[in-house]
Structure formats: C-alpha cells, structure tokens
Amino acid sequence: MAVTFGTNRFSFLDPPRLARSCIEAEAAGFDNLWFPDSQLHAGDVFVNLLTALRGTERARAGTLVVNPVTRHPSVLASSIAAIDTYAPGRVMLGMANGDTSVWQVGLRPARLDALENAVRTIRALLGGAGVDLGWTAPSRLDRPRAVPVIIACGGPKTLRMAGRYADGVVMRVGADAALLRWAYDEFCAGAVERGRDPASLFVALHFHTVITDDAELARARGRVMAAGYYEVNPRLWELIGLKWPCAPVHEILKTVRPDFHHAADMDLAARMVAEIPDDLSRRFCLIGNPAEVRAQLERLLVAAPWARHVVLQPNLPGRDFIAACGRDIIPAFR
C-alpha cells in the first residue's frame, strides 16, 4: 500500500503566503496539510484550514492539533463541521491534550479522561447523535458532518484510548523502529478491547524532520528535537534503554524558551544539549540531506508496514523543504 504524506508549519500569519505555500505543498505531492492550534503563534486554526482548502484542489486539511481545554468539544465539533461544508470529505480533526496553546496562557493540558470525553462527545455530535451536555435536552448539531476524529499522542494510555474511541491515531514517538512497534501495539490493544479492527483505522507516523545539506546544522537541530522528546515523554528514552546525558531539563528550560521543539533560539538550544550523540538523535527524528532522510524513512516504513500516512514536520520550514520533499522523498514511496 502506498503511503500518503502530510506536512505543516506554513506561513500562518500571512494569508497570501499561507495559500501559496499550501498550493506548492499539494503540487509537491503532499496529500494532507496539517495546522496547529497555538493561538499566540499561528492565528486561528480554522481560518487557516479554510484558506488551505479553498486554495487547493485535492489535498486534505486537518488540525494537528486542537485540545478540549481552550475550546469546548461542542465548539470543536461545530467548527470542523462548518469547514467540511466548504470542502466535503477533505477535512480531519486531530486532537491532543494541549501544548503551547495551554501552557503559555496559564492552563494545564487535559487529563486523559477529559480528552476521552471530548473525543466521544465530538464524534457523537458529528454523527448526528444527541449528547447530554447539561441542558434540558440532549444537545445536537444542526448540520452534522462525518469528519474523522483522530488523536495525536505518544503515551501508552492515550494510545490505547485512541484505539478504543477515535477514528485513528498520529503516533508521536520519534523515529526508532522499536518505539513505532511499541506504539502500534498499544493502539491495537485498545482497538481490540472495544472489538474494533485496527486495520480499519487511520494510522499515521509523525516525524520531526531536519532536511539540509549543512551536516553540522542537521546534527545540531537533531539534538534539539531528540531533547524535545525527553522533555515531554522521558519514558520513550527509557523504553529503548537511553539515559539523559545533559544537565537537568528543568534547568535548561530556564534558558531555552518556551521548550525544545518550539525553541525561539535553536542554536542556543543545540549548545545546551551538545552531549546528545548523533546516533541517538536519529532515533527521534529524520536528519540529513534529502537522500539521507529518504533512506532513514525507507528503513522505518519497512519496519512499520501498517502505517498509512507520514507527517513530516519541518524544523527548517519553507519553500526549500517543500521542494526537497517533492523532488527527492515523496516520489520514492509512490
């Protein structure tokens, strides 16, 4: 089965550039255009989705990700259903517990039970069902739409919950074959618990991706991406027998702001985690020139034949990244 590709990190706050970059991504072979919901940095995610869909012809567009903390589940259901009326069948709702969108406004990510409740509520509303939301009668969407609801995650409990209740999963566990297999096993276990066939669900792999001919820059950015996984999910390091070689993360993050994956100064962040070796970095992200990234991805997809979709999140976003993917990477998997 041919794998489809998605990407993100467009020019969110410049509508003409955003539309143009989405058109270029579609022309390069990207099948999905993904948009974060980080209100202080990326504008409004649903406006961005609509801009992308109205400027492209075939590509699907989705949120990666929204959360049930800053937006009520009924608002999320209504917003994504409205977007789907403009481009029927080309929309997906990706959810998670919250990242920069919650931390940077003094809130906390959703607990697992809250995320589960939100997913179940949204899927019910989109399916036309009534839901008890505390009104005098079950609440319903006036115009329900069959939009898939997927969960982006990397922890075992959330992976299992995605298998039980969502339409699919985006696995964010790095770029190590053993971690991909572990995550898929957890997702499948959740699906089987509910009598669902995992093969019927959407399964995507998410990779932070550094594409550059500058070998030193690639290594530096790779260290930061690997550090980001330890920051948010140190268990992933432990699962493959790795130990954190740098200063305590909480001390580094007094200088590296707001976090590793979104660091405002990537060069500074790279210097702060200089002890991370190159071979370890490659277990958490795709790194190198286009040919090296393609080869790394080929090995991972051999180990994960069940993956249907790959999200390449650029660490160095822009036209060069899109062009390199369209020229040197995507065609190898068609």
Instruction: Check residue 1 and give its pLDDT.
Output: 58
Give every residue of the chain whose pLDDT is below 70, as ranges.
Answer: 1
Instruction: Check residue 42 and give its pLDDT.
Output: 86
Each residue's pLDDT tens digit, 151-175: 999 999 999 999 999 999 999 999 9
Instruction: Check residue 11 and give its pLDDT.
Output: 81
* 3-state per-residue secondary structure call for the chain: CCCEEEECCCCCCCHHHHHHHHHHHHHHCCCEEEECCCCCCCCCHHHHHHHHHHHCCCCEEEEEEECCCCCCHHHHHHHHHHHHHHCCCCEEEEECCCCHHHHCCCCCCCCHHHHHHHHHHHHHHHCCCCECCCCCCCECCCCCCCCCEEEEECCHHHHHHHHHHCCEEEECCCCCHHHHHHHHHHHHHHHHHCCCCHHHCEEEEEEEEEECCCHHHHHHHHHHHHHHHHHHCHHHHHHCCCCCCCCCHHHHCCCCCCCCCCCCCHHHHHHHCCCCCHHHHCCCCEEECHHHHHHHHHHHHHHCCCCCEEEEEECCCCHHHHHHHHHHHHHHHC
Instruction: Check residue 152 and give its pLDDT.
Output: 98
What are the structural domains of the chain? 4-212+290-333 (3.20.20.30), 214-288 (no CATH)
Each residue's pLDDT tens digit, 225-268: 999 999 999 999 999 999 999 999 999 999 999 999 999 999 99
Instruction: Check residue 100 and give its pLDDT.
Output: 83
